[in-house]
Structure 1
Amino acid sequence: MNPPLPSPTDIWDRAEMAWLKDVFGSFSVEADLSWGIQGIQVTKIDTTRGPVVVKSGKKWVRPDAEGEQRALDPEPNPHNLREIRAYTQWMPQHNDLAPQLIAAEPRLGILAISFLDGDLVLGSAQVENPEVWQAAGETTRRFHGEARRVTSSFDGGNLSLLPNRVDAAEKGAEWLPTDPNLRSRVMAVAETARAFLRTAIPRELPLYPTHADNSPRNWMMTPQGFRLIDFGRAGIRPRYTELDFAWGAPGPCREAFMNGLGVPTDLAAWDEHERASCQLYLLAQYFRSLEWAWEHGDHGFYSEVLNRDETIHQFSTV
């Protein structure tokens, strides 16, 4: 027997309730679709417009520049703010790429989108279907559109972060694996990073609106076709950042996704600057993702990140 659904006032605060009533009038809670990480609340509600998904979340208290004290005033959850930005700034209206945005309030970090009648690819028989991965790549490429700017700032950010992350690993950070064999693999990546940093320079690259959390858990097959969901990591980045999860996918799936995205499947065919930039990104993300997964107790993601060392070493041999 399913547990009883919470009442609306248990989910949303007074300001959020007022916003929902202003947008929808009367409504009722139908299902809790939350995934239990980062305090993001995902709720299916029934309205006079039909079923709607509401994304809200705990207010986030932003660390200050020193990383010690915290700001006094909580801010809306950045995950939701990124999704609102993706819908309002980059997603075409009446799109066939994702759910439709119905309404959003950045000050509250809350948004309402259309409910998709379909099946999540993760956990379905389609999870390793190359045709689905091809559709995911093609849909993502359409979301990218034209490059928004060409800059070296993306590399610059990773170059400033990577040395500190390597230092932390070499000093025995608490997020390192306890298993000696796994720890040695992480330290091998740290050695690769040290060697890379000796000659690394920031590269100018075109940056696009990216989804950046591209995996079957954020893909849906609907009667109308393939759809992307959850733009909580969306941002302006190089297109290769869409490959985070594809690197560890079965070969036919990875190649289908890359073909759809318009990225060569052979690393040797990549532009030299883009390849070097991607290697830098993979190194920086490797350590940060291990730390994030450890902090949030996401053991599955932690194992997934550990296995990205093979891809990192492949870049070193091109």
Structure 2
Amino acid sequence: MQWGRTGLDDQQAAFVRAVLPGAEVVGDDSWGLLDTIVLHVVAEGRAYTVKACGPDNTHFPRELEAHRHWTGPLLATGDTNALVAVDQEHRVLVVTRVPGHLALDTPDATDPDVHRQAGVLLRRLHDQGTRHDPDHRVREHAKAVAALDAPHRIAPGTVDRVRAVLGERPGGGVVEPLVPTHGDWHPRNWVVDDGHLRAIDFGRFAWRPATADLTRLAVHHWQHDPVLEAAFLAGYGRDPRDPEQWRLLQLREAVGTAVWAHAVGDEDFEAQGHDMLRDALAAF
């Protein structure tokens, strides 16, 4: 693939060529929903991943923070990629490329041992520290309510019910500590090589309750196969979920999914968001 056809601008491409002399692009791994460009690059016989984006992309600073400060426990065992170089001005990251294939849409996505390993890796990430912020839940509730003011296709009656549920529970109950979270922990960001699991893509890294990293697995996999949930929790070592906060988290996640997917035009993901809303509200 020619550099001019990758979507990188001149400054981004020049940075990559300076960092990786003789680099060749052998694949495009971009998802196409945001302005993030993800390229498979080879230089001097070694494989790298190049990620580049525009000035307003919020994933770039999150991923950079994660690689600089919070991926150490996974990197120490070779279970994630290492930061090679960064151009903050032009928003380009170069990281090593872990071997294997994405678990998504393969038998590995429903392999109990892969889910067990996912629990082990996630616990290492989470166990690096805690922060206490009693206002975190209030802000997350407000964010979900505000999202309902954006364009979406959620039925008016459902909107009213979501507002009522969140309004009745602004911040009470268990205050969960915040931990370093991946933010998108499921088979789309798991790479499997001969049965060995590694993690990629920290673009949604943030400090959140540990349960936040379980929401997508619960929706995509666990409700269809409880064996996978049990395997994951065995690897993680415990179930971190408080029942009341878990159902509130699922409701906020459902709102965010339906609204965000509509904004980027992903109709399949939007439909999933509506299914998530139905199921989340049923818990109340």
Tell whether the structures are fold-level matches, with TM greater than 0.5: yes
Match of 2:51 in 1: 55
Residues 55 and 111, structure 1, Cα contact 8 Å, conserved in 2: yes
Greater CA drift, 130-139 or 147-156: 147-156
Residues 28 and 38, structure 2, Cα contact 8 Å, conserved in 1: yes
Is 1:277 matched with 2:245?
A: yes
Is 1:97 matched with 2:65?
A: no
Cα distance in 1 for residues equivalent to 2:283 and 2:79: 31
Match of 1:259 in 2: 234
* Alpha-carbon distance, 1:78 to partner: 1.9
Residues 155 and 280, structure 1, Cα contact 8 Å, conserved in 2: no
Cα distance in 2 for residues equivalent to 1:314 and 1:146: 35
**Secondary structure, in 3 states, of the residue corresponding to 2:13?**
helix
What whole-Å deviation, never above 9, does each CA across 1:230-264 have from its counterpart, x for those lacking one?
A: 11111111101111212221222233223333443
Match of 2:118 in 1: 136
Match of 1:201 in 2: 171
Query: Structure 1 residues 196, 40: closer, same or farther in 2, change over 3 A?
Result: closer
Match of 2:136 in 1: 154
Cα distance in 1 for residues equivalent to 2:38 and 2:205: 17
Match of 2:276 in 1: 308
Cα distance in 2 for residues equivalent to 1:9 and 1:174: 33
Gaps of 5+ in 1: 61-76, 178-182
Residues 155 and 281, structure 1, Cα contact 8 Å, conserved in 2: no
**Secondary structure, in 3 states, of the residue corresponding to 2:128?**
coil
**Equivalent of 1:289 in 243, 257, 261:** 257
Q: TM-score, normalised by structure 2?
A: 0.86
Aligned-partner residue type, residue 86 of structure 1 = A
* Alpha-carbon distance, 1:196 to partner: 4.3
Match of 1:74 in 2: none
Residues 108 and 192, structure 2, Cα contact 8 Å, conserved in 1: no
Gaps of 5+ in 2: none
**Equivalent of 2:36 in 24, 34, 40:** 40
Larger Rg: 1
Aligned-partner residue type, residue 65 of structure 2 = R
**Equivalent of 1:176 in 153, 164, 171:** 153
**Equivalent of 2:20 in 18, 24, 28:** 24
Query: Structure 1 residues 259, 108: closer, same or farther in 2, change over 3 A?
Result: farther
What whole-Å deviation, never above 9, does each CA across 1:191-225 have from its counterpart, x for those lacking one?
A: 25413422432553211111111111111112482
Cα distance in 2 for residues equivalent to 1:307 and 1:148: 33
**Equivalent of 2:217 in 236, 240, 246:** 246
User: Percent of counterpart pairs with the same letter?
Assistant: 23
Residues 138 and 261, structure 1, Cα contact 8 Å, conserved in 2: yes
Q: How many corresponding residue pairs?
A: 277
Cα RMSD (Å) of the superposition? 2.6
* Alpha-carbon distance, 1:86 to partner: 0.7
